[in-house]
Chains A and B, each alone.
Chain A
Amino acid sequence: MAIIETNGLCYQYQDGSTGLVDVSLSFETGEFTVVAGANGSGKSTLLRHLNGLLLPGSGSVSVCGAAVQDDPARARQQVGMVFQDADSQIIGETVYADVAFGPENLGLSHDQIDERVQAALEAVALTGFDDKSPHHLSGGEKRRLAIAGVLAMTPQVLVMDEPFSNLDYRAARLVLTQILNLHRAGHTIIITTHDLEKVIGHAQRLIIMDRGRVVRDGSPAAIIEDVERFGIRPPCSIKFNQGILPWLS
């Protein structure tokens, strides 16, 4: 069953440059999708349409069958977005306050907020960090905090913009582990990246974007050979003719 659908989605930036051109996609419930493309290919712009942060110039986006334009707030609750820069996503002065920001906006009771915050922190292995200052966390911890902040709103879909950028090897492994756990728990995951190495072995679907258009869409194994011509570096295992190998064993 499709949880998100875009039809003929077009978007133009204020300076007149093209953001998206005729993007028609359908994301199934529980699917793990990677959207790849070079810088400026429209990946982040597409993500911002999925939860109503940007509204289409023409075409439409629907989440759970309802048009995003009609109720962006509902779409934002159902499609949680983790931004590329984790620092810019931090709002609270403590880890607890930051994760609680979303549930507070939903008008939940204090008990419900506490329950959701603890569950979200547990899901990303940050239990016990409640009173720490978010700005004093490591890069990987900040990224997991950003995911917790979104999880506390109990979204059905998690969209993540370059979730591994600026992370060292250990932190990237931890973040990827948490993402895979969330996928196993039933979340629909959509990740944008220009670095396929870490994530492609775990994804079920690969979408390639180029200059605002979807140029390839299918299983990773079917289209991975094509990625280099769109400015994306193929995983090392492909270069060495070993097929797609998972980054985490």
Chain B
Amino acid sequence: MAELTSIGFRKGNSVLHRLDPRTKQILLMVFGMAALFGDERFLLLASLLLALLLHQAGLRFTTIVREIRYFLYLLIFVFAVRAISFTDQFYPAISPGGFSEAIFFCWRLLLIVLMGLLLVSTTRTSDIRAAIIWFLRPLPLINEKMAATMVGLLVRFLPLILFQAREIDEGMRARGIERRRNPLVRPIRFSVALFRRVFVRADELVETMQARCYSEQRTLPQLQFSAADGWASVFGLLALLPAFLR
């Protein structure tokens, strides 16, 4: 357990640690949208800004790569699918246009994931939950406390699920799963074991929360905007300009 994934809150005193969680979530949403549509100038600027903030938040490059390696595998797969096309004779080929498009597509996805990683690394789950309640409160027909609890639990238990996945994978390899020739055996066995473990864990979690009098009417963290939030918003808007200036 000591090697539990570091996706999760890390105590610190960086700029992002000091911002109100609502400001961070708004910036995440706005920059996430801009990353989907911005040109290369914006992507470059956003990447540099993100690298700076990740460094300031104490997240090392090697740690990030290790923690998102499964996503990186997926990204490589997505890149291959988008970059490689087939000729009339069904030979694989890479066109310059397809290659460039795949690069940009994967770049955008990577930026969004890193932004999310930055948010959860610099914000306590309870603060994320309180901010979601604040955002959803004006919306009718939505139980904002229930929704916030669900998001909070997801953020909180994602590292545990990844940890379980790693343990199951190691357990399967220790018993020679790599010797099986059928390529479907490993993912099927892995998925069944992981889902079973996650459901058991979910049951335990519910019992634990009940034992400690879980209630939706909980005391929430006190959220307060400060001058730093104002400056961060202004700086964020300035950084967004390249996304709209063509």
Q: Which residues of A contact B (CB under 8 A)?
A: 51, 53, 73, 76-77, 80-81, 83, 85, 87-89, 91-94, 97, 101-110, 113, 131, 133, 135-136, 149-150, 153
A42 to B126, CA, bound (A): 36
Q: Which residue of B1, B8, B156, B201 is within 8 Å of A91 (Cβ)?
A: B156
User: Which are the 6 A-B pairs with shortest beta-carbon distances?
Assistant: A88-B204, A102-B212, A105-B213, A104-B219, A135-B4, A104-B218
Q: Which residue of B4, B209, B213 is within 8 Å of A77 (Cβ)?
A: B213
Known: A77-B213, A153-B213. A97 touches B124 (CB 8 A): yes
Closest residue on chain B to residue A81 by CB atoms = B211
**B134-156: which residues lie under 8 A (CB-CB) from chain A?**
156
**Which residues of the partner chain A approach B204 to less than 8 Å between Cβ atoms?**
83, 85, 88
**Which residues of the partner chain B approach A87 to less than 8 Å between Cβ atoms?**
1
Q: Which residues of B contact A (CB under 8 A)?
A: 1-2, 4, 8-9, 11, 124-126, 156, 201, 204-205, 207-215, 217-220, 222
- Write the nearest CB–CB distance from A147 to chain B, whole angstroms: 12
Q: Are A150 and B9 in contact (CB under 8 A)?
A: no
Q: Which residue of B1, B156, B205 is within 8 Å of A93 (Cβ)?
A: B156
Closest residue on chain B to residue A113 by CB atoms = B219
Q: Which residue of B124, B210, B219 is within 8 Å of A107 (Cβ)?
A: B219
**Which residues of the partner chain A approach B214 to less than 8 Å between Cβ atoms?**
105
Q: What are 17 pairs between A and B in contact, CB < 8 Å?
A: A73-B213, A76-B213, A77-B213, A80-B211, A83-B204, A88-B205, A89-B208, A91-B208, A93-B8, A93-B125, A94-B124, A104-B219, A106-B215, A107-B217, A107-B219, A110-B222, A136-B1
Q: Are B11 and A105 in contact (CB under 8 A)?
A: no
- Write the nearest CB–CB distance from B5 to chain A, whole angstroms: 10
Q: Are B11 and A150 in contact (CB under 8 A)?
A: no
Closest residue on chain A to residue B5 by CB atoms = A135
Q: Are A76 and B219 in contact (CB under 8 A)?
A: no
- Write the nearest CB–CB distance from B233 to chain A, whole angstroms: 26
**Which residues of the partner chain B approach A83 to less than 8 Å between Cβ atoms?**
204, 207-208, 211
Q: Which residue of B11, B209, B211 is within 8 Å of A131 (Cβ)?
A: B11
- Write the nearest CB–CB distance from A97 to chain B, whole angstroms: 6
**Which residues of the partner chain B approach A77 to less than 8 Å between Cβ atoms?**
213
Q: Are B8 and A133 in contact (CB under 8 A)?
A: yes
Q: Are B219 and A108 in contact (CB under 8 A)?
A: yes
**Which residues of the partner chain A approach B211 to less than 8 Å between Cβ atoms?**
51, 53, 76, 80-81, 83, 150
- Write the nearest CB–CB distance from A161 to chain B, whole angstroms: 11
**Which residues of the partner chain A approach B125 to less than 8 Å between Cβ atoms?**
92-93, 97
Q: Which residue of A93, A102, A107, A110 is within 8 Å of B9 (Cβ)?
A: A93
Which of A87, A91, A113 has the most chain B CB within a 10 Å cutoff? A91
A149 to B218, CA, bound (A): 16
- Write the nearest CB–CB distance from A149 to chain B, whole angstroms: 7
Known: A93-B9, A97-B124. A53 touches B207 (CB 8 A): yes
A94 to B2, CA, bound (A): 14
A211 to B213, CA, bound (A): 30
**Which residues of the partner chain B approach A113 to less than 8 Å between Cβ atoms?**
219
Closest residue on chain B to residue A87 by CB atoms = B1
A149 to B211, CA, bound (A): 11
**Which residues of the partner chain A approach B201 to less than 8 Å between Cβ atoms?**
88
Closest residue on chain A to residue B220 by CB atoms = A104
